[in-house]
Amino acid sequence: MLELLNKVNIQVKEGICLKDPSSSELGNKIFSEGVRMIDEIGMEAFTFKKLADAIGSTEASIYRYFENKHKFLLYLTSWYWSWTEYRMVFRMANIESCEERLERAIALLTNPAENDLAFGNVDQEALHRIVISESGKSFMTKDVDEDNRIGAYVAYKQCVSRVSELILELNPNYKYPHMLVSTVIEGAHHQRYFAEHLPRLTDVVKGEDSVGEFYRAMVFNTIQAK
Amino acid sequence: MLELLNKVNIQVKEGICLKDPSSSELGNKIFSEGVRMIDEIGMEAFTFKKLADAIGSTEASIYRYFENKHKFLLYLTSWYWSWTEYRMVFRMANIESCEERLERAIALLTNPAENDLAFGNVDQEALHRIVISESGKSFMTKDVDEDNRIGAYVAYKQCVSRVSELILELNPNYKYPHMLVSTVIEGAHHQRYFAEHLPRLTDVVKGEDSVGEFYRAMVFNTIQAK
DNA sequence: CAAATATAATAGTATTACTATCATTTTGGT
DNA sequence: ACCAAAATGATAGTAATACTATTATATTTG
């Protein structure tokens, strides 16, 4: 089983990058060191210059993979959502109960990611932190519509769509499944961030899975199916 | 009544700006034209240079009011939340039923703002759009903790706290009132944004108050009090 | 009316986000 | 093993941004 999973390659919609970073050593370094660096210093302070220095390459070389740092962020979030969809499908496989599948999906979306060496040498926990604190900036921009056109958000939409279908299976009359799911996803990110920086906006207790418990109850109470 | 309300001055925590913009004509111009401009071109493209040109002043003069454009955004969001708290208190005044007060608070938080000339000549609808699309950037930054220290988010926290209290009044055993309220606020902003740009992440129907209805039902079902 | 304060005009700097050019290395096909 | 093509490195340059500094001119206030 481990053999089989060894090196699953997450494909990101082409068009986001100029050249597929998973196709070369330099590309992989850009990806993994980029994640490390953005997690450390944040998107604002992050530059291709700093990244180039860190991996012993040059600005110009990185620009051959990504048009600019915004596209790089789109690539990271897109990779994250493809990876998350993969994990979601995996965790729901062979589970009969629809309720149980929904529970598992919510748990996946509301809990911190855990590193899985099967997916390259990217620090997925760090990537999750980046998604929490920077992904809003990937779509809250004047380029949303263009970025949407090139498919930068398909993986995200697909995750939302999958969970929405579970909800409709449990309650075919529920009117707002997509709203509910996107509320859970974005909400969970915010709560984790608030817990760290603005605790008065949340009720997260250290050591408890408050976020997961809160959103699980919220979803089931809202769709009135449990 | 209109007389009485004529010119209510919203006070923003000092320390966010170097000099209170409501204290001078130039300051007021910076505020109102800044809102107009950010709504039009977005925070990324917005610069003090462009703003200065638009109001026939200079970069240096604006820098005497605000350290940088991030502080300016903090000022705008802070003003917005003070204004919103004011409206919230007003709308709940003299309403006996706690449920009704909560309903009204949710409606206020989930619906678009309407211009009210009593509060200076700022375009409040535009400011609301700015809060929707840019306010995430006001706290998703490496400076959060410092900005929090100087009180940049007190007005926001106060709004959350007020609504949380209503929830606790309806259900004193509910464990996550702050989570629920911040989820509603941030969620409503996201849904409005998605409706415009990423419709597959929401279920908003033009002409209907889907956002308000969704969050109203979500809150009452979640706290199990109606 | 003098003194203090606010604003305008102008100039300058470091950094950023790129683009361009050319040299060198690596790789893949025969 | 060798050549052509592709990838990368080295270096330089540009326009815009986010400021800071200085001095001059209004404007307000006591």
**Nearest-by-Cβ selection for A218 from B145, B202, B222:** B222
Establish how many alpha carbons lie within 13 A of residue A141's alpha carbon, considering only the half-sphere containing its beta carbon: 17
Question: In which band, very low, low, confident or very high, does the pLDDT at A13 lie, cut at 50, 70 and 90?
Answer: confident
Residue B13 has pLDDT above 90, yes or no: no
Residue A57 CB contacts under 8 Å (≥ 6 apart), including other chains: A26, A29, A30
- Ranked by mean pLDDT, which of A9-18, B12-21, B42-51, B199-208 comes out on top? B42-51
**Nearest-by-Cβ selection for A140 from B160, B177, B193:** B193
Residue B109 has pLDDT above 60, yes or no: yes
Give the number of A-B residue pairs with CB atoms closer than 8 Å.
Answer: 138
pLDDT in tens, A144-164: 999 999 999 999 999 999 999
**What pLDDT is recorded for position A118?**
83
Establish how many alpha carbons lie within 13 A of residue A223's alpha carbon, considering only the half-sphere containing its beta carbon: 28
**What pLDDT is recorded for position A170?**
97
Residue of least CA–C1' distance to D28 = B24
Mean pLDDT value across chain B: 94
**Nearest-by-Cβ selection for B183 from A42, A141, A187:** A187
List residue ranges whose Cβ is under 7 angstroms from nucleic strand C: A 45, 47-49, 59-60, 63, 67-70; B 19, 24-27, 56-61, 64
Separation of CA B69 and C1' D11 in angstroms?
A: 34
Please report, as a single letter, which amino acid is at residue B120.
G
Residue A33 has pLDDT above 80, yes or no: yes
CA distances from A182 to B190, B203, B207, B208 (A): 9, 10, 21, 19
Cα Rg of chain B (Å, integer) = 18
Q: What is the DSSP letter of B113?
A: P
Contacts of A41 in chain B (CB under 8 A): 142
**What pLDDT is recorded for position B171?**
98
**CB distance B139–A198 less than 8 Å?**
yes
**What pLDDT is recorded for position B226?**
47
Angle between helices B210-223 and A177-197 (to 10 degrees): 70
pLDDT in tens, A99-109: 999 999 999 99
Give φ, ψ of B202 to 5 degrees: -145, 180
Question: Residue B85 in contact with residue B162, Cβ under 8 Å?
Answer: yes
Q: How many residues in chain B?
A: 226
CA distances from A46 to A33, A55, A135, B144 (A): 11, 14, 15, 17
pLDDT in tens, B133-176: 999 999 999 999 999 999 999 999 999 999 999 999 999 999 99
Residue B39 CB contacts under 8 Å (≥ 6 apart), including other chains: B123, B126, B127, B129, B130
What gap in Å lies between CA B102 and CA A166, rounded to an integer?
30
How many other C-beta atoms are found inside a 10 Å radius of the C-beta of residue B100?
11
What gap in Å lies between CA A8 and CA A161, rounded to an integer?
23
pLDDT in tens, B171-216: 999 999 999 999 999 999 999 999 999 999 999 988 889 999 999 9
Mean pLDDT value across chain A: 94
At the top level of CATH, the class of B12-223 is mainly alpha
At the top level of CATH, the class of A13-223 is mainly alpha
Residue A5 has pLDDT above 60, yes or no: no
**What pLDDT is recorded for position A217?**
98
Question: In which band, very low, low, confident or very high, does the pLDDT at A140 lie, cut at 50, 70 and 90?
Answer: very high
**What pLDDT is recorded for position A225?**
60
Average pLDDT value for residue range B121-127:
95
Mutate to test the interface with A, among B43, B149, B218 (most CBs of A within 10 A): B218
Name the percent of chain B lying above pLDDT 90.
87
pLDDT in tens, A39-67: 999 999 999 999 999 999 999 999 999 99
Average pLDDT value for residue range B216-225:
93
**B46, closest nucleotide (Cα–C1'):** D17
**What pLDDT is recorded for position B155?**
97
**CB distance A201–B182 less than 8 Å?**
yes
